[in-house]
Amino acid sequence: MKAGHQVVVIGGGIAGLAAAYVLQKDGFDTEILEASHRVGGRVLTAREPFARGLYGELGAMRLPANHEIVNEYLRELGLDDQLEPFEQANQLIYLTGLKRTITYNAFEDLLRQKDPSVLNLFPGLHDHEKGKTLDELWTEAMAPAVGMNATQIRQNYDRHTLQSYLEEVAGWSSACIQLYEYCSAHVVLENAFEESFADAYLSSEQQGTAARMRQLKGGLDRLAWAFLQQKDVDLAARIRFGARVRHVVYDRSAVETPIRITFESVAGHSVTKQADYIVFTVPCPAMTTIRVSPPFRAGKTSAINQVRYVEVTKILAQFRTRWWEKLLNQKYNAGSEGGLVTDLPIRYLMFPHSASSQFAPPQARGVVMASYTFEREAARLGVLSEADKLRLVRENLKEIFEEDLIDDTIEVSVSHNWSNDVYAGGAAFAYFSPHQHTRLYNDLLSPDWDGRACFAGEHASAYHGWIEGALRSGLRAAFQVSEHFLI
């Protein structure tokens, strides 16, 4: 009988919630230890300091329509009728060299026409790179890998970063790489090639549209809290907040409950719990702060220490009116929502979908994801004070739109630099380096301590940075516990 057999899940993010949910339904006595005051992990919906009813996403923000496990859980948790559109398309672009804001469609037309006002910004483009949109350049560059399965891609391209692939395989000039970097919304050139190839709908306008992105009404953290609101699986009574795990011991000689977990509460006292199994679901950098005895096997330890994560900073800003809806529609004929790409420090912003349920009358205000940056650009913004971030947003938007209404309507902001998030271990999400799929992936997924310790999290999946990956990894870890129990 599984009842009476204790499983402790470390971390109340999406992976931990999924693992605990399945294990509890399967008959195990399950408990979640979460160091923070909330569930969701890197799903972080911000409602403060915004006006009542408004929110924005500082972590995960969109759900591709083809993510099957997400869709299954939305149905399971009663949220499948709570989805609304998420506009993925880039509508506008502003480059300082152009000194004007234009629609992304107009920018693509300028590229097709080999317009000097654009080409002169990127001197050194090869002749065969001119006259093509970024989508066309990307499609040509990816052609050698199209049709390959994951194993074939690793055999052929595992040594490549995205940049080295574009240089050595696709033959892009440095100017073409610069064009791609500054004029696309999501570019991490240091990624393993396989990462960027798998997430092509973040690099291709056409594939981004085909992904049919959605968002959850009321904020994506509703998905996390829904796990705690199911009547048949009372996870709300099985989670302990403010519990920071410090030490985990596995005693191979113990007949029962061979695992001992010691954690500190926020009040400062130490608590020890016994368990038959443990599931680690926190990001790898946070894992390194937990002392484990005996140490995990060498391959597991190396994988935890070496897996690469990206740096991300997001800034959300509230405006007194949703001025962009009228401006995008009337001045640019570009709808009323979607992305803007720029080479200014904010780099990428996204205007929320005008049909969002949070904008139901009489709500006139709105929250914009005013900046989304990666790596070195995220580090530069991350060290700024909140006031300086808001000032930067205001200055960049005034330059982009040349509108006094920015000063008239901007009110408050909130930001999150994931490198400073202690609960995530300073990790936004995993993006492997070259060779890490080959060298680390299997060790990240496999159990340790004679099958008593299992591991989950988006890093331990094929969907890095996505809720789909977190859910799949949680399911796999739960299955590994059940499988070991039946042996």
Q: Are residues 436 and 410 located together in one domain of the fold?
A: no
Q: How many domains does the chain have?
A: 3
Angle between helices 68-76 and 467-486 (to 10 degrees): 80
**DSSP element (H, E) containing 382:** helix 375-382
pLDDT at 209 over 90: no
Mean predicted confidence (pLDDT) in 290-306? 97
- Residue 113 inside a domain? The answer is no
Lowest mean pLDDT segment, chosen from 113-127, 139-153, 198-212, 348-362: 198-212
Please say whether the beta carbons of 472 and 438 come within 8 A: no
pLDDT for residue 243: 96
pLDDT for residue 200: 81
Q: Are residues 333 and 382 located together in one domain of the fold?
A: yes
Contacts with 111 (C-beta within 8 Å, 6 or more apart), sequence order: 118, 131, 132, 133, 134
Q: Are residues 434 and 298 located together in one domain of the fold?
A: yes
Mapped onto helix, strand or coil, the DSSP state of residue 319 is: strand
Alpha-carbon torsion, ordered 338, 339, 340, 343, to 10 deg: 180
Alpha-carbon torsion, ordered 218, 219, 225, 230, to 10 deg: 50
Q: Are residues 128 and 196 located together in one domain of the fold?
A: yes
Q: Are residues 297 and 319 located together in one domain of the fold?
A: no
Q: First-to-last CA distance in the chain?
A: 13
Of 396, 420, 444, the last residue of a domain is 420
Phi, psi of 232, rounded to the nearest 5 degrees:
-80, -15
Q: Are residues 317 and 416 located together in one domain of the fold?
A: yes
pLDDT band (50, 70, 90) for residue 486? confident
pLDDT at 207 over 80: no
Closest CA to 307 of 290, 291, 279, 283: 283
- Residue 33 inside a domain? The answer is yes
C-alpha to C-alpha distance for 9 and 35, rounded to whole angstroms: 12
- Residue 170 inside a domain? The answer is yes
Q: Are residues 229 and 244 located together in one domain of the fold?
A: yes
Task: Give the count of beta carbons closer than 10 Å to the beta carbon of residue 169.
Answer: 17
CATH number at residue 127: 1.10.405.10
pLDDT, tens digit, 9 for 90 and up, residues 446-476: 999 999 999 999 999 999 999 999 999 999 9
Residue found under tokens 């294990």: 23
Name the token pair of 207.
């594939």
Q: Are residues 62 and 203 located together in one domain of the fold?
A: no
pLDDT, tens digit, 9 for 90 and up, residues 3-38: 789 999 999 999 999 999 999 999 999 999 999 999
pLDDT band (50, 70, 90) for residue 1? low
C-alpha to C-alpha distance for 451 and 473, rounded to whole angstroms: 16
Query: In what side-by-side order are the strands of the sheet with 259-265?
Result: 270-275, 259-265, 243-250, 291-293
Percent over 90 (pLDDT), the chain: 90
pLDDT, tens digit, 9 for 90 and up, residues 237-274: 999 999 999 999 999 999 889 999 999 988 888 999 99
pLDDT for residue 268: 84
How would DSSP label each residue in 344-378?
STT-EEEEPPTT-GGG-TT---EEEEEEEEEHHHH
Mapped onto helix, strand or coil, the DSSP state of residue 223 is: helix
- Domain residues for the domain of 404 are 45-68+76-87+212-219+310-420
C-alpha to C-alpha distance for 198 and 249, rounded to whole angstroms: 38
Please say whether the beta carbons of 14 and 41 come within 8 A: yes
Angstrom distances, CA of residue 294 to CA of 255, 449, 450: 17, 8, 12
CATH number at residue 473: 3.50.50.60
- Residue 92 inside a domain? The answer is no
C-alpha to C-alpha distance for 424 and 145, rounded to whole angstroms: 33
pLDDT for residue 369: 97
- Residue 435 inside a domain? The answer is yes
pLDDT for residue 350: 96
pLDDT at 80 over 90: yes
pLDDT at 224 over 80: yes
CATH number at residue 335: 3.90.660.10
- Residue 192 inside a domain? The answer is yes
pLDDT band (50, 70, 90) for residue 213? very high
Task: Give the count of beta carbons closer than 10 Å to the beta carbon of residue 222.
Answer: 17
pLDDT for residue 279: 98
Mapped onto helix, strand or coil, the DSSP state of residue 217 is: coil
Mean predicted confidence (pLDDT) in 344-354? 96
Amino acid at 190: E
Q: Are residues 228 and 249 located together in one domain of the fold?
A: yes
Alpha-carbon torsion, ordered 93, 95, 99, 105, to 10 deg: -30
Q: Are residues 413 and 322 located together in one domain of the fold?
A: yes
Name the token pair of 127.
């002749």
E strand segments, 383-471: 410-417, 429-430, 453-455
Of 389, 420, 451, the last residue of a domain is 420
**DSSP element (H, E) containing 239:** strand 239-240
- Residue 116 inside a domain? The answer is no
Q: Are residues 386 and 440 located together in one domain of the fold?
A: no
Residue 124, Cβ density class (10 Å: 0-12 exposed, 13-18 middle, ≥19 buried): exposed
Residue 292, Cβ density class (10 Å: 0-12 exposed, 13-18 middle, ≥19 buried): buried
